[in-house]
Amino acid sequence: MVHILIVEDEQRIASFIEKGLKSHGYLTTTVGDAQAALTLAMSEGFDLLILDLGLPDRDGFEILADLRGQGSKLPVIILTARDDIKDKVSGLEGGADDYMTKPFRFEELLARVRVRLRTVKKTSTTKPLTLAAHNVVLDLRTRRVKVNEEWIELPAREFLLAETLFQHPGQVFSRQQLLDRVWGYDYDPGSNIVDVYVGYLRKKLGSSLIQTVRGVGYRLRR
């Protein structure tokens, strides 16, 4: 499933974009500050970034510069109220793939998202069809899991949580990062839903596969 990161600090606009994209089958994660935006964008778990420039802690141009400076090729659509031609030129020359101004119609944004994703699909290298760790294999095509040579089905949220961890073996994810990646803003940050779902995965995939890092979060054992 295509996962789109929305960086927008105005909740009304963020919710409007998120609901529209979800209604067309896209998975979304929304953040409203530059720090979280850059951390998530560099995690390689997203297919597209919709970026506002007027963020409360840093300018969106700085996020774009950091992304490109660190070698990220994540497609970026700037969505901003800044309509000056100098800003448009700066955005595109700075590495953005598209530049769109507010106010906007969702239909146009959706069309631009589809164009960017089609372009990426044509130019990107073939992604792996499976992810494996120890005695567990995730089939990304069928969304099924093989444990000790036996295939089992996982609910969508459990599979996405497993996929996130399997894509980055050994990397520690905080509960908030996993909540953002798998559930977005559908759950209260104070919820223990991440711990509950890690428990589900341990029962199905093996108790020692996902390690707890005390005071931080979880990681997949190398």
Each residue's pLDDT tens digit, 41-96? 887 778 999 999 999 988 999 999 998 888 888 999 999 999 999 999 999 999 99
What local confidence, expressed as pLDDT, does residue 70 receive? 82
Q: What is the pLDDT of residue 45?
A: 78
* DSSP class of 59: B
* pLDDT number for residue 189: 64
Give the length of the chain.
222
Count Cβ atoms below 10 Å from residue 221 Cβ, excluding itself: 13
The CA distance from 154 to 135, in Å, is 16
Structural domains in the chain, CATH included, are: 3-123 (3.40.50.2300), 130-220 (1.10.10.10)
pTM above 0.95? no
Alpha-carbon distances, residue 63 vs 34, 55, 96, 151, 213 (angstroms): 7, 10, 11, 42, 29
Cα torsion 146, 175, 212, 207: sign: negative
Of the chain, the percentage scoring pLDDT greater than 90 comes to: 57
Name the more confident of 104 and 123. 104
Residue 202 has pLDDT above 80, yes or no: yes
